[in-house]
Amino acid sequence: MKVVVGMSGGVDSSVAAILLKNQGYEVIGLFMRNWDAGVNNDILGNPTLNDNICPQEQDYNDAVEVCKKLDIPLKRVDFVKEYWDYVFTYFLDELKLGRTPNPDIMCNKYIKFDMFLNEAEKLGADYVATGHYARLKDGILMRGVDDNKDQTYFLSQVPKEKLKKILFPVGDLKKEEVRKIALKYNLITAKKKDSTGICFIGERNFKQFLANYLPNQKGDIVDIETNKKIGEHIGLMYYTIGQRRGLNLGGNENRGFVVGKNLKDNILYVSFGDESDYLISTSCIVNEINWFSDKKINKCTAKFRYRQKDNDVKLIYHDDYIEVLYPQGVKAVTPGQACVFYNKDECLGGGIIKEVRKNNEKLWYL
């Protein structure tokens, strides 16, 4: 059986390839180029070059070395335009609306588990594998064994039918076990740090980077309790609900936190009071629903952001959205983020948070 492995140049995909080869599969590596790494480097004044090699090219070089070591072929595919059209444009549009998008989730939906799958099929793949920390059991998407690395949250928008030919070889392993295997095979990626930043774009000065695509529109920072101006923000897209750092509020810097945005008047609202007054909600509206489970469950748990603990929720189903109730209250649930549902270790599916409420009333400042 032939398996095409998405080789990212990281340790997880490297070990995925090792495990599959040891299981007797014919393994082919496929590297995705999804971003023009040279874009805006000079404009930003903050180049991403490292020893004259941009991070994405370094990842490719590492993938080449790993595949040579494992004696498997490596091919390369270019999805730069597709990534721009389906992921980055979505990211910018959501920011313009004052929401908090997760481009990694959309990258999995449109690129890794759609266009990449099509490319793998052209290579004659029976299966496609990635280095995600997740598991598939009898067609059911399950959390990865490593709670700290579980990535089912980021897979929540992948259509169920796309998972039929997917393998997650490292989903049954802890991260430290993955690194031990890479060290055993003396791979160049064994001690390579995990990637951070925006998917495929990498670590950059976020504010400088976005300034190339969204103009900075400075505006007032207003105390929501007094309705008085207390500072100036550098653009609403740079702030998230609950944020405390980087508000430039002088002596009050560590006391204030973001509670909302007014796009019409370009106002950033902050509070110096009790977080529970503004950051705690008790329900939300979730649309763009994607289900893995065949049955509708009325009670389960949900995550409203990655690495958040599970929250007990009740689901009320409507034609094109779900009302998610959590009367115990949850902090900083934010429009634009993903809400992902679980039944113990099973990932039931997820959607995108459209509206946040407290005691059945929409929080106007969100």
Closest residue by Cα to residue 279 from 304, 299, 300, 298: 304
Q: Which amino acid is at 261?
A: K
Whether 107 is catalytic is yes
Q: Which amino acid is at 249?
A: L
SS3 category, 312 = strand
Whether 54 is catalytic is no
CB atoms near residue 143 (< 10 Å): 20
Are the C-beta atoms of 157 and 353 separated by less than 8 Å? no
Catalytic one among 54, 67, 107, 347?
107
In the chain the first and final C-alpha atoms are separated, in Å, by 51
DSSP string, 338-362: EEEEEETTEEEEEEEEEEEEETTEE
Q: Which amino acid is at 173?
A: L
Catalytic one among 199, 284, 300, 347?
199
SS3 category, 182 = helix
Q: How far is CA 199 from each of CA 102, 106, 279, rounded to the nearest angstrom?
A: 9, 10, 28
Closest residue by Cα to residue 128 from 157, 167, 170: 167
Furthest C-alpha separation in the chain: 68
Residue found under tokens 């106002």: 267
Q: Which amino acid is at 169?
A: P
Phi, psi of 251 (to 5 degrees): -70, -15
Which residues have a catalytic role annotated? Answer: 107, 199
